[in-house]
Structure 1
């Protein structure tokens, strides 16, 4: 069941980038689409959690939820939705996969954290992947809006990194409140921010929202992307460990590139493939040390030394 859910989650997260692309290409305003998606998804989850007596709507009044919502939802997805007007869904997925790299770089610069050499090497590999993906297009005289879209997605990962680091502190501080409820609340708060941004910067035409593509995109993103996908993610965290579900980042970009090419005729160049491979290889290198640390913690918690565990494994 764990493997089935993991595969299902990877497919969901890999296809959401194309769903966003379909919606914005159909004429749906990006900020309004993103804001309404997360407000509705967050409210539905929060209503369910409140009915189960595992949360309260008072969460929406906490400033922490608004700050997390600014980082994880508003800052990240407003830029992603805007960028996908000009960038393919596959490229958007690859650039979005750099989030863990940005988190490490932010820890190094702002918090002066000591980082293992392997993680630094992994960061450089992933950044090389981004360079291979972006720089050839720039040299070929690619559209300026395409380049701005790529930069916007990377800036969004900076928002995500800040939100992720801050949310880690908040989750530990509010350990008596379900992380699922906290995530629902921050989605609502971030969604409201994007709706305000939409009111200030977009013209929302009813006909653009009622097209089959726009409605289908929004329903898929609300129900499958935000509700089902994130519920599976937290279920996997609860039934495995915090690292295993995050491995979707190794798989979903390739799913996004393939689905975009097959179903939406997005261009698939050698630079896209090489950029994707380098970005994911960098992520694997970055997380190798973390995976080893998690395993060691698990063995020690069970009173088994890692050396003894390795000996058991070699014995079959």
Structure 2
């Protein structure tokens, strides 16, 4: 089940960078569209969890939910949405792929945890693969806003990495609540923060949100990107570790390349194929021990059921 959910999450998240870009290019205000996306997705999921009696209303007043929402949703996506006004979706995917490496560095430097050399090597190989894959397709212009956008995404990934590590503690702290409910509440908090930021920083013209491209982008990101993708991510953090689900960031450019070739007949060069293979190799190295343990547990379950 872990591997299946991981594959679904990678497929979902692999499409979100371009979907965000489509909405922003259609005129949707970055902070407001991000805020409404996450707040509505979180609200719908939380109501569903309440109706299923798998969540308590008092989760809404827990400070841990606010902190998680600040990191995983507000910090990560305020920077990404703003940056995608100036940075291509491909470049955003490259820069976002630094998150698993940042998680390992935070574990090693801040939390003083022992990190296997194999994991560090795997992160570097995976990140190299992303560069090999996407860099030939990206026109890097050294404009001020491109540089600011790139820096913003990197800052956002620090928020993301901190939130992924902190969310593991939150899940243990609220072990009696569904990870889906915890994810819903943090999205509501993060979405509300984004809308407050929008109120003070950008003009809001509803007409720009009502174009077909803007509406389509928003609906896809609410239902598929947030309700499906982020719920699976939170579930995987609970079932494995913070690093394993975060490696979807290495696969997103690979998925984008495959969809482009399949649906739009885009050319796939040998250089791009090398990047894809290198990326997957890095992911396997980073998670080799976790994958081996998951396979062993699955085999034991099958033997017990036999």
Shorter-chain TM-score bucket reads: 0.7 to 0.9
Q: Which residue of 2 aligns with 1:149?
A: 149
Structure 2 unaligned runs (5+)? none
C-alpha separation between the residues in 1 aligned to 2:108 and 2:3? 34
Instruction: Tell me the distance in 2 between the aligned counterparts of 1:10 and 1:134.
Output: 17
Tell whether the 8 Å contact from 1:18 to 1:259 is kept in structure 2 after alignment.
no
State the SS of the aligned residue for 2:54. Answer: coil
Query: Cα 1:271–1:63, aligned 2, differ >3 Å: closer, same or farther?
Result: farther
Q: What is the distance in 2 between the residues matched to 1:144 and 1:276?
A: 30
Q: Which residue of 1 aligns with 2:183?
A: 183
- 1:1-316 to structure 2, matched below 5 A, reads 7-129=7-129, 141-231=141-231, 242=240, 248-249=248-249, 251-259=251-259, 278-295=278-295, 298=297
In 1, Cα distance between the equivalents of 2:265 and 2:152? 23
The alpha carbon displacement at 1:229 in A equals 3.0
Query: Using the alignment, how far apart are the partners of 2:162 and 2:48 within structure 1?
Result: 28
Q: 1:257: how far off?
A: 3.8
TM-score, reference length from structure 1: 0.80
How far has the Cα of 1:36 moved from its partner? 0.5
Return the alpha-carbon distance in structure 2 between the equivalents of residues 199 and 264 of structure 1.
38
| Cα separation, 1, equivalents of 2:146 and 2:275 | 16
Q: Distance in 2 between matches of 1:294 and 1:58?
A: 34
**Cα offset for 1:91?**
2.8
Q: Distance in 2 between matches of 1:157 and 1:198?
A: 20
Matched-pair contact (CA < 8 Å) for 2:100–2:246: no
Contact between 1:83 and 1:149, CA under 8 Å: does it hold in 2? yes
Rounded to whole Å, the distance in 1 between the matches of 2:199 and 2:270 is 40
Unaligned runs of 5+ in 1: 305-316
CA RMSD after TM alignment: 3.7
More off after superposition, 207-216 vs 278-287: 278-287
In structure 2, do the counterparts of structure 1 residues 109 and 132 end up closer, same or farther at CA, with 3 Å as the change threshold? Answer: farther
Aligned residues: 300
Structure 2 match to 1:308:
none
Distance 2:23 2:155 in 1: 22
- The 10-residue stretch of structure 1 (1-10 or 67-76) with the greater mean CA deviation from structure 2: 1-10
CA separation of 1:267/1:160 partners in 2, compared to 1, >3 Å: closer, same or farther?
farther
Distance in 2 between residues matched to 1:91 and 1:276, nearest whole Å: 16
**How much does 1:19 deviate?**
1.0
User: 1:293: how far off?
Assistant: 4.5
Distance 1:137 1:299, change over 3 A: closer
Q: Take 1:234 and 1:68, find their aligned partners in 2: how far apart are those partners? A: 11
TM-score calculated relative to the size of structure 2: 0.82
Give me the whole-angstrom Cα distance separating, in 2, the residues matched to 1:122 and 1:228: 28
Q: Equivalent residue for 1:307?
A: none
